[in-house]
């Protein structure tokens, strides 16, 4: 959904009737009251109820009336309770019994806290504006977006990718990991899968097992001497005991109604030493509630960001998959560096090499049969520089730079200067490195690339700038910054310079999604063209990289769509809501319905156009990317007209038994010749004269020429293509073409469509 607003900027005081100090005091008061309530009750009671209140809204069959807000509130309550329990001193005295009244108060306080956070950010901006003569509204908007994302968003990847993302980066570190933890890395990855399964599918399994055990026990009880058809609870206990399923029943019920689904020690074989490193004990974290601003607020680094598990009554529990998988890789790094600081340098080298390799593999998987060079060195030996890799596909060059470093682990709200430096390092610096290679190629026209930075380095290839119609920069970060990289070129007010719209800044998480969805290299490269246009558009500002993909699949040329929406209007801004539902649904189904083959989200495309694009890919003819992107630029009506033109021509030529080419005029001119074993082109001059005549009478200068060869079943077997220009034809030449066309027009067909793409 897209919304536009003409509302002028009003004073924030008109929106929120408090001062910044008022809202801070209000939030401090809620945090203290919430702390007081949470410390009243037994941690096990709170965690049990919070966990199941978070499970129920997500259970199939029980969640029809549950809103996204209800789900968010439930997950936030669970997160607040965990963070508070492990950062507040435990009370040794007897605790109160957790009843509905007490629980409702905790839920209400969590909701209130989150509600007041919105006016907090508004008033924080107002406070900055009043306190600085150099206040920059755009800088403040981007900064606030970044801070709110850090505060409120959990879950950087889809469930189906949770373990894969850890595996990609951790498996190459196998030796270091296993030496320090004395624990096989394959077992660790398998244990992560077990935790994920338990917290997603475990309840359903437990319920099915409980029902099955109940039915078996009923049958057993009925067979016992003296028992009635409807046994009592006591009789059932006897039956369970005598049936030998007591332990099995207890385990199933604990998983269905207790905390066994969260018991990491029970679910996995993780060594206790590692579990301890990944867990908090009650009251252990002393930083979250230490003196200073925002004590107990999630604007500080929450305990769950640092360790995902909780130790309670000598058991280790995991209640939250999102915090677990958002942070587990970096937490493992921290533990290893703490135990053996000397491995840091080697570990970082392997991580760098791995992230570069994985990124290039994802990109090249979308561009089969492309040329890939990595790493690449260029310039004279005394001044040689490196880029992580380049990919060449037809007339397209992609320069790849990857940053595997971590975003700062502190709170950006408490130290934005340090946070900003890391953003520059992860977003701006790789774009600058890629730009340096691009400019070196363009300035020198032709360059050699090498496999190293020494005198015996081998020449990998020679590159000529004029052989590339398009040059893109793809800069990849291991840490997920999608809320910023989705608008990378518009981050200058935040002090982050990405100097070209041809720079595609993306996280490894999002790149993984693209690699799974794009099956057509030509369609992927067409997306990159549209992605560049979106970077150039003043009307396209998205908060998620996958919204770019969702919009492309729905609207194709989505920057043009934005321009058309704005035509004749003068709103102060345009708001783009999420366009990822189809993508989200697909990956959720991959996770929940593993035995089913699901259709990937894609653009609607007529059969003959899809057949044409597929054959262009298969035949690998030079210039195919330009031809395919030209065709894919067309909107639905254009694509349908091309399809109709091909089908009508094939039918018409069968009837008249002669060549009957057609022409589509308008903004995107196409001249199409449909051939078979009985119909051939007269010669090249005849073909060119036909195209130029059509351009002349339609008032256009250029046309894509398609020569399509069909078999007897009208199946496309060959595609040839070219672009023909009228160019600077003389008056005499134009007159000759006109006269030629007049003589031939009875054998020609022309289809016209609206001029929009």
Q: 3-state SS of 271-330?
A: CHHHHHHCEEECCCCCCCCCCCCCCCCCCCCCHHHHCCEEEECCEEECCCHHHHHHHHHH
pLDDT, tens digit, 9 for 90 and up, residues 695-740: 999 999 999 999 999 999 999 999 999 999 998 888 999 999 999 9
Whether the predicted pLDDT of 216 surpasses 80: no
Q: Which of 372-376, 380-384, 584-588 has the lowest mean pLDDT?
A: 380-384
pLDDT, tens digit, 9 for 90 and up, residues 666-675: 889 999 999 9
> What pLDDT score was predicted for residue 449?
97
Residue 447, classed as helix, strand or coil, is: strand
Residue range 592-618: mean pLDDT, rounded: 95
Q: Which residues are bridge partners to 475 per DSSP? A: 401, 505
The helix-helix angle for 508-517 and 581-592 (nearest 10°) equals 80
Q: Which of 80-94, 219-233, 543-557 has the lowest mean pLDDT?
A: 219-233
Whether the predicted pLDDT of 62 surpasses 60: no
Quote the DSSP letter at residue 424: I
Cα–Cα distance measured from residue 504 to residue 486, given in angstroms and rounded to the nearest whole number: 9
> What pLDDT score was predicted for residue 313?
92
More confident residue, 254 or 179: 179
Cα–Cα distance measured from residue 590 to residue 503, given in angstroms and rounded to the nearest whole number: 31
Q: Which of 201-215, 290-304, 337-351 has the lowest mean pLDDT?
A: 201-215
Query: pLDDT above 70 covers what percent of the chain?
Result: 89
> What pLDDT score was predicted for residue 67?
83
> What pLDDT score was predicted for residue 207?
78
Whether the predicted pLDDT of 210 surpasses 70: no
7: confidence class by pLDDT, cuts 50, 70, 90? very low
Q: Which of 732, 660, 736, 738 is nearest to 699 (CA)?
A: 738
Whether the predicted pLDDT of 245 surpasses 60: no
Residue range 562-572: mean pLDDT, rounded: 75
366: confidence class by pLDDT, cuts 50, 70, 90? very high
> What pLDDT score was predicted for residue 234?
57
Q: Which residue has the tokens 């097992």?
A: 209
The CB density around residue 343, as the number of other CB atoms within 10 Å, is 17
Q: What is the pTM of this model?
A: 0.92
Whether the predicted pLDDT of 66 surpasses 90: no
Residue range 423-443: mean pLDDT, rounded: 97
Quote the DSSP letter at residue 379: S
Q: Which of 8-22, 373-387, 456-470 has the lowest mean pLDDT?
A: 8-22
pLDDT, tens digit, 9 for 90 and up, residues 104-156: 999 999 999 999 999 999 999 998 888 888 899 999 999 999 999 999 999 99
Residue range 641-657: mean pLDDT, rounded: 93
Residue range 388-400: mean pLDDT, rounded: 98
Residue range 467-492: mean pLDDT, rounded: 96
Whether the predicted pLDDT of 1 surpasses 80: no
Cβ burial of 275 (10 Å; 0-12, 13-18, 19+) is middle
Structure tokens at 173: 């570190």
- Cα–Cα distance list, 525 to 179, 396, 427, 470 (Å): 44, 8, 22, 10
Cβ burial of 48 (10 Å; 0-12, 13-18, 19+) is middle
Please give the angle made by the CA atoms of 414, 417 and 421, to the nearest 5 degrees.
130
Q: Which of 309, 286, 293 is nearest to 31 (CA)?
A: 293
E strand or H helix at 449, and its extent? Answer: strand 446-450
* Radius of gyration in angstroms for the set of CA atoms belonging to the chain, rounded to a whole number: 32
Cα–Cα distance measured from residue 663 to residue 405, given in angstroms and rounded to the nearest whole number: 54
Name the range with the highest mean pLDDT among 9-23, 217-231, 281-295. 281-295
> What pLDDT score was predicted for residue 93?
73
The CB density around residue 3, as the number of other CB atoms within 10 Å, is 10
pLDDT, tens digit, 9 for 90 and up, residues 157-200: 999 999 999 999 999 999 999 999 999 999 999 999 999 999 99
Residue range 314-333: mean pLDDT, rounded: 96
Q: Which of 447-461, 562-576, 721-735 has the lowest mean pLDDT?
A: 562-576
For residue 375, whether the previous peptide bond is cis, meaning omega lies within 30 degrees of 0, is: yes
More confident residue, 62 or 322: 322
10: confidence class by pLDDT, cuts 50, 70, 90? very low
More confident residue, 748 or 522: 522
Structure tokens at 550: 């969702």
Q: Which of 391, 406, 398, 388 is nearest to 477 (CA)?
A: 406
> What pLDDT score was predicted for residue 558?
93
Quote the DSSP letter at residue 454: S
Name the CATH topology of 347-592: Restriction Endonuclease (3.40.91)
Cα–Cα distance measured from residue 734 to residue 281, given in angstroms and rounded to the nearest whole number: 86
> What pLDDT score was predicted for residue 728?
80
> What pLDDT score was predicted for residue 575?
63
> What pLDDT score was predicted for residue 9?
43
Q: Which residue has the tokens 């309530």?
A: 37
Cα–Cα distance measured from residue 263 to residue 27, given in angstroms and rounded to the nearest whole number: 33
Stretch(es) of the chain classified as CATH 3.40.91 = 347-592
Give the mean pLDDT of the chain: 90
């Amino acid at each position: 959904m897209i919304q536009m607003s003409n509302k002028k900027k009003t004073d924030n005081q008109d929106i929120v009737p408090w001062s910044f100090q008022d809202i801070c005091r209000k939030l401090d008061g809620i945090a203290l009251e919430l702390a007081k309530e949470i410390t009243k009750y037994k941690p096990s009671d709170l965690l049990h109820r919070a966990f199941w209140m978070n499970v129920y809204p997500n259970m199939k069959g029980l969640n029809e009336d549950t809103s996204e807000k209800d789900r968010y509130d439930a997950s936030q309550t669970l997160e607040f309770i965990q963070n508070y329990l492990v950062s507040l001193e435990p009370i040794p005295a007897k605790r109160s019994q957790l009843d509905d009244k007490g629980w409702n108060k905790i839920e209400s306080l969590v909701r209130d806290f989150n509600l007041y956070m919105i006016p907090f950010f508004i008033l924080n901006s107002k406070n900055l504006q009043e306190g600085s003569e150099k206040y920059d509204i755009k800088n403040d908007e981007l900064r606030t977006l970044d801070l709110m994302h850090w505060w409120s968003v959990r879950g950087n990847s889809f469930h189906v990718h949770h373990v894969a993302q850890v595996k990609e980066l951790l498996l190459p570190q196998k030796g270091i990991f296993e030496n320090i933890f004395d624990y096989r890395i394959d077992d660790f990855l398998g244990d992560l899968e077990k935790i994920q399964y338990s917290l997603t599918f475990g309840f359903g399994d437990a319920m099915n097992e409980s029902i099955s055990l109940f039915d078996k026990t009923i049958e057993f009880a009925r067979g016992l001497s003296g028992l009635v058809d409807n046994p009592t609870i006591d009789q059932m206990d006897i039956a369970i005991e005598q049936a030998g399923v007591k332990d099995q029943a207890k385990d199933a019920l604990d998983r269905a109604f207790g905390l066994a689904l969260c018991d990491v020690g029970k679910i996995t074989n993780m060594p206790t030493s590692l579990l301890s490193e990944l867990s908090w004990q009650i009251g252990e974290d002393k930083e979250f509630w230490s003196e200073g601003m925002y004590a107990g607020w999630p604007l500080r680094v929450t305990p769950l960001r640092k360790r995902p598990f909780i130790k309670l009554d000598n058991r280790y529990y995991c209640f939250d998959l999102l915090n677990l998988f958002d942070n587990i890789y970096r937490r493992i790094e921290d533990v290893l560096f703490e135990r053996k600081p000397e491995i840091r340098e080697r570990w970082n080298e392997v991580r760098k090499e791995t992230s570069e390799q994985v990124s290039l593999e994802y990109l090249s998987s979308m561009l089969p049969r492309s040329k890939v060079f990595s790493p690449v060195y260029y310039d004279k030996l005394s001044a040689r520089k490196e880029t992580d890799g380049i990919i060449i596909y037809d007339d397209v060059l992609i320069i790849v730079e990857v940053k595997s470093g971590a975003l700062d682990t502190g709170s950006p709200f408490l130290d934005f200067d340090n946070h900003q430096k890391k953003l520059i390092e992860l977003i701006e610096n790789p774009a600058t490195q890629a730009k340096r290679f691009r400019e070196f190629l363009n300035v020198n026209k032709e360059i050699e690339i090498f496999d190293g930075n020494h005198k015996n380095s081998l020449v990998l290839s020679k590159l000529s700038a004029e052989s590339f119609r398009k040059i893109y920069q793809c800069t990849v970060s291991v840490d997920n910054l999608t809320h910023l990289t989705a608008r990378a070129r518009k981050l200058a007010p935040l002090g982050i310079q990405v100097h070209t719209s041809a720079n595609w800044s993306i996280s490894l998480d999002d790149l993984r999604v693209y690699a799974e969805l794009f099956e057509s290299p030509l369609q992927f490269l067409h997306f990159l063209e549209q992605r560049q246009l979106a970077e150039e558009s003043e009307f396209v500002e998205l908060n998620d990289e996958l919204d770019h993909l969702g919009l492309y699949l729905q609207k194709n040329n989505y920057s043009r769509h934005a321009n058309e929406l704005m035509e004749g209007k003068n709103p102060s801004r345009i708001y783009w809501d999420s366009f990822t539902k189809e993508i989200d649904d697909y990956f959720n189904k991959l996770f929940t319905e593993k035995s089913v083959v699901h259709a990937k989200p894609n653009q609607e495309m007529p059969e003959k156009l899809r057949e044409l694009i597929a054959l262009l890919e298969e035949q690998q003819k030079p210039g195919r990317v330009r031809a395919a992107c030209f065709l894919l630029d067309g909107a639905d009506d254009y694509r349908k007209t091309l399809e109709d033109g091909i089908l009508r021509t094939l039918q018409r030529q069968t009837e008249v038994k002669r060549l009957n080419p057609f022409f589509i005029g308008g903004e995107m001119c196409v001249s199409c010749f449909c051939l078979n074993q009985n119909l051939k082109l007269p010669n090249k001059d005849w073909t060119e004269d036909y195209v130029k005549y059509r351009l002349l009478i339609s008032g256009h200068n250029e046309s894509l020429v398609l020569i399509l060869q069909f078999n007897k079943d009208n199946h496309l077997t060959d595609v040839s293509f070219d672009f023909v220009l009228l160019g600077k034809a003389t008056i005499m030449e134009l007159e000759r073409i006109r006269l030629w066309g007049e003589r031939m027009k009875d054998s020609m067909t022309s289809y016209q469509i609206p001029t929009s793409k």
